[in-house]
Chains A and B, each alone.
Chain A
């Protein structure tokens, strides 16, 4: 296999090189360069409309599902540009799993929710064992071990979201993308999911979009701050860009950019 980029540093698992994403003629994000580190949790923060969710969805080609969405630039994963014409998006999603904003279990049993993904990924081992270990990693096992045959919808919202995380873990991805996974949940469920993420960090790379800066501070090692500016032509439309990318500690204590400082101190957003 041809490695298209040899310059990528060793501990970088996914890197964006000059990525711009548009919906039809509307440009959502412009010229993003970013290296995501292996085994770390990176959070993407920023005001609404800055394109952080758009960027996240572009990392495993979920944007393919949105009509008219197009991407310029390269997204390098494992030495391959995942937007290369030869790349199979299904293959990409098997290695970069995703957890969505709204919990979205399948209308099947809890057991089947986990087993479904594993099965389509060609899992041949002991399914019971996999279901148990995935649910354990998703910190849901104790709550649902007695009702594995009940519908995924019988769980509470927070439990459903942990089921979705467990479902993603079951396919053994290298990266897990999370799109505001706690925005629909109560504080206690949120805390549980954050604990789960700390556990997962040992084996997976996690990239999370969050609106909650406390959460970014609590869970992430690295933070990318996205901002939006008005177009140069000034018709009021805004385009997102990556304003600052650094360790979470640095971003929250002494950011380089003034806008970052203003955003984290709550001046806008």
Chain B
């Protein structure tokens, strides 16, 4: 026995090995803390950089539309309004479209292979860079929809949101390209939530003679609702922060207008347009706008996470 043991020279862990273990663990710990450090860093940096503008304009910044580097007057109302309107309206279109698609994928209308192909197509859409979608929007979508916009203006011009003559890029196009970007998010999360609804609930409804869509509306959708809601919120956060495609197609005008057919602005497109060339107090005002955007998307995001946690273990 003694003889054999001597063959294992490393049986006793050397001090160095113990140290490596400790170093390894602590390195991993430090690396994981980086996330918190970066997140905190982003919040603090953006906040302190916007401080000058914040102390000068206060909350007035949020409700005035003047953006004049010459006169040093700044107010981001147009951009904030544009961010909210484009993201909410695009979501309004995406929700029925995405949930409808998710239902199609989870029900057995067509064989599974086709459903999986459609599902992958929708998910691949999420992989297309937003700048490419913007390019496509400029050269394909805008000419294609122009006739339709003119029609909207001619017949529904009395409604404020269609009151301006469509001339090229505008907020409505930004909304449409956002729909394309949000669709994969809403669809895939809605599909996951629908798949998680226990089969026995569907059996219960079918077993007492509920029709397919009665079952979907009364039993399956309500059970999947919280998951779908969380997905919708994540999509909302994404829509508010989305930059490239929107910047390329929205027309970038700080002149406030109720009309969706006129050029508009969002916070992120304002940042994309002006940050490179800004100086003086304009920079601080842009940071202020960035802070507003960050706060909006953080709130939405955290709320979405809370919703997921709260309802994920219902069954």
Tell me the A residues contacting B by CB distance below 8 Å. 60, 62, 65, 67, 90-95, 97-100, 102, 104-107, 116-117, 120-121, 164, 167-168, 170-171
Contact = CB atoms under 8 A, between A and B. Distances in A.
A67 B314 contact: no
B203 A60 contact: no
A98 B207 contact: yes
Given A106-B205, A107-B201, A107-B315, 19 more contacts: A60-B207, A65-B206, A67-B108, A91-B209, A97-B208, A97-B209, A98-B207, A98-B208, A100-B204, A102-B200, A104-B204, A106-B201, A107-B222, A120-B208, A120-B218, A121-B209, A167-B204, A167-B208, A170-B208
Interface string B215-239: 0001100110000000000000000
Contact of B207 (A95, A100, A105, A121): A100
Contacts of B206: 62, 65, 93
Contact of B208 (A65, A67, A93, A102): A93
Contacts of B200: 100, 102, 104
B202 interface: yes
A117 B314 contact: no
A164 B204 CA distance: 8
Given A67-B112, A100-B200, A107 B314 contact: yes
Interface of B: 108, 112, 198, 200-212, 214, 218-219, 222-223, 314-315
B207 A99 contact: yes
Nearest to B212: A90
Given A98-B207, A167-B208, A168-B207, A120 B214 contact: yes
A116 B201 CA distance: 13
Contact of A90 (B203, B210, B219, B223): B210
A92 B203 CA distance: 14
A102 B204 CA distance: 10
A93 B205 CA distance: 10
B209 A107 contact: no
A164 to B, nearest CB: 7
B223 A107 contact: yes
A51 to B, nearest CB: 18
Contacts of B218: 116, 120
B98 to A, nearest CB: 23
Nearest to B108: A67
A100 B208 CA distance: 11
A93 B208 CA distance: 6
29 contacts: A60-B207, A62-B203, A65-B202, A90-B209, A91-B209, A93-B207, A93-B208, A93-B209, A95-B209, A97-B209, A100-B200, A102-B200, A104-B198, A104-B200, A105-B204, A106-B204, A106-B205, A107-B222, A107-B314, A116-B205, A116-B210, A117-B210, A120-B208, A120-B210, A120-B211, A120-B214, A167-B208, A170-B208, A171-B208
Contact of A62 (B108, B207, B314): B207
Nearest to B315: A107
A171 B209 contact: yes
Nearest to B111: A67
Nearest to B219: A106
B202 A90 contact: no
- CB-CB nearest 5 A-B residue pairs: A94-B209, A98-B207, A104-B200, A117-B208, A93-B209
A168 B203 contact: no
Given A65-B202, A116-B218, A168 B223 contact: no
A114 to B, nearest CB: 10
